[in-house]
Structures are given as C-alpha cells and as structure tokens.
Amino acid sequence: MSSIHLVVMAGGSGTRFWPKSTSKKPKQLLAFGKGGKSLLAQTLDRFVGVVPDNQRIIVTTELLADAIKADAPRTKVLAEPQGRNSAPCVYWAARVVADQDPRGVMLVMSADHYVPKVDAFRECVRHAADWAKSHDDLVALGVTPSRPETGYGYLRLGERLNGGPSKVEAFVEKPSFERAKEFVKAGYLWNGGMFVWRADMILRAFDEFMPEYKTAWDSSNAQVTRAYPQMTATSIDFAIMEKAKNVVTFPLDCGWDDLGSWTSLEGVADAIGARHAAGVLSAGELIAVESQGLIVDAPGRLVAVLGLDDVIIVEQGNAILVAKKDRAQDIRLLVDAVKKLRPELA
C-alpha cells in the first residue's frame, strides 16, 4: 500500500495584499476575517485525519523559513535557497517522498488558498489519492467554476474514465470574459494548482520533460544549495502538466478561492464573517456615509469613509493603502515605489 504525503508550497511572496502582506509576512501567514488562524495553519488543519504529521512537508524559502516554522511547529520544513517557482519545489519534495516510499502518494497544495467547505474538499482529495495509488496518472484537482472568472486558468475535459476522473485534454490560459463564459458553459474546470500523484509518476514526468533536474540533483549529491541554481525556474504547470498525456481531474466543489487580491475578499466575505453594510470589513471598525462597495482591513482602527464608492482601505503597521477597487491587480506598482522609499514597509 502506498503511504500518503502532504506537500504544501509556501514560498510565495506576493504583493497583492500589501500592506497587510509584506515580503517578511506574505499571504500564507495572514489570517483573514474573524478566524484568527493563518491560511497556512488552515491548510494544514484541512488534512487532519488524512495525512499524519510525520508525512507532511512544507516547502518555502530561507527568507520565510523561521516564520513558517513558528506558524507550523510540528511540520517538516524544506527551505529553498531562493524561490524558483513551483517546478523545483515539487521536484525536491518528490525526491524526499520517494526516498521514503517511491510509490508514496503526494498531495501537492498551496499554503495560501481558501477552502470553506472542508468536507467536500477532503472527499475529493480522498478520491484523487485512491485513484493515484492504483493508476499511473497525474491528478489535477479541477474547481467547479462559480462564475466566468478571467483570473484563473481552465482545464478542458476529455472522456470520463470508468467510475473515476475525467481526462484533461488541455490546460487553457486565463481567458477573456467572453471566452470565460463559453468555458463555464462548456463544463471546463478551474485549474486550482492542487495536484495528487505518486512520487514515482511525477519523477518519471520530470525525467521526460525536465531531465536537467535529475542531472542537477544527482550531480550535486542532493545538496539543494548546489542543485537549485542549475534548475530552471518555472512552474509545475508549464514544466509538466501542460505537456503530460496522463493528466486526469476530479471536480472539486468546495467554495475554493485563491485569494488573489483584495477584491477576492468580496467572494468569501460571508464565509469569513466580514460582510458589512458598505462592503467588506475584515478587520477594524468602519463608519461609512454615502459610500458603497468598500473593502476595509485596519486592525484596531476606526475607518471613516465619506462619499466614496469601490475603494480598498488597508492599514498595517505604519502604512495606509487607499486604492480604487478596479486597480487591485496593480498594487505591486505601489509596492515597487515603497521598496525604494521605505523598504522596511514592503
């Protein structure tokens, strides 16, 4: 029987939740709403009873390793010398799992996603793990779309396999709104970046599509600081999933959201207890007069808004963000400037 292993990718250093997120405290270490637990801690909680503590691995960067260890003290942490996107991260984790059990099943998850319906999530993961144990397939969890979202990639499905998953015919890039509507109508699923496979199968795929990784790893005698600089920085999607022929998917309907920007809080406001008459209030107090569609996060502060619609207002430390909501994807423009003027606040 194959053992089961959780691999949590926690190296992200995104800027889209600045100033709540910073380079030293990225999204996976943040709590949203009234929960109190970080997204990373919530991710680990999701696998209680599914994967034992000693078969869990978090992969992050050296910069974040101490903070990650403090947030997840019982979990093994692999610290990458530098972030090189998800493919090297998955390869390293696969080698670690394979050393223990070459046919071990890996559940590859992001540390910073949001999953409100945990039971549905766990059921889907169990189906995927069962399939991967006994089939030489790579499973991508496919999120049932709740809207024609343009911010996600999509999975185009092929035939349904007997009693199990559907074949994935193609990974499709983020579409226009018109295309997204067609995709939803045609039954495409969102690519949630969550994968399930046996270690031997993903390593075989790496050997086929990224043979340099094995060369780098073996020639450095599995010394990550020597191997990493030789491994192309690329995503697991691009390196493997878009090329492999043995990709299948199980549909996942659990309210999943990747929390890609401040505006994504609008979709999960009810679930995290952050709904306010004037929009979303995930921390602090809000008085809004003739203002609608706000997104406010200001722990311990009173925010008073007058005559403004569709604005994001965030306070953290010594930084205050005020941004038009339709510019939520461009907050990095501000962070770039902050890095120059006040690097300690970025």
Q: Which residue from 96, 109, 100, 112 is spatially nearest to 50, judged by alpha carbons?
A: 109
Identify which range of 3-11, 88-96, 240-248, 303-311 contacts a copy of itself by CB under 8 A: 303-311
Q: Is 306 in the site for a copy of itself (CB under 8 A)?
A: yes
Residue 174 CB, nearest approach to a copy of itself (Å): 22
User: H-helix or E-strand containing 96?
Assistant: helix 86-100
Alpha-carbon gap, residue 266 to 280, rounded angstroms: 6
270-299: contacts with a copy of itself (CB under 8 A): 285, 287, 289-290, 298
Identify which range of 1-9, 202-210, 269-277, 330-338 contacts a copy of itself by CB under 8 A: 330-338
Detail the DSSP E strand segments found in the chain. 4-9, 56-61, 76-80, 105-110, 138-143, 154-160, 166-172, 189-198, 247-252, 275-276, 279-289, 294-306, 311-316, 319-324
Q: Is 48 in the site for a copy of itself (CB under 8 A)?
A: no
Q: DSSP character for 185? A: H
24 vs 324, beta carbon nearer a copy of itself: 324
CB 286 within 8 Å of CB 305: yes
CB 255 within 8 Å of CB 117: yes
Identify which range of 76-84, 112-120, 244-252, 323-331 contacts a copy of itself by CB under 8 A: 323-331
4-43: contacts with a copy of itself (CB under 8 A): 19
Q: Is 330 in the site for a copy of itself (CB under 8 A)?
A: yes
Q: Is 318 in the site for a copy of itself (CB under 8 A)?
A: yes
254 vs 313, beta carbon nearer a copy of itself: 313
Q: Is 227 in the site for a copy of itself (CB under 8 A)?
A: no
CB 184 within 8 Å of CB 145: yes
Alpha-carbon gap, residue 265 to 282, rounded angstroms: 8
The residues binding a copy of itself (CB under 8 A) are 19, 285, 287, 289-290, 298, 300-308, 311, 313, 315, 318-324, 326-327, 330-331, 333-334, 337-338, 341-342, 345
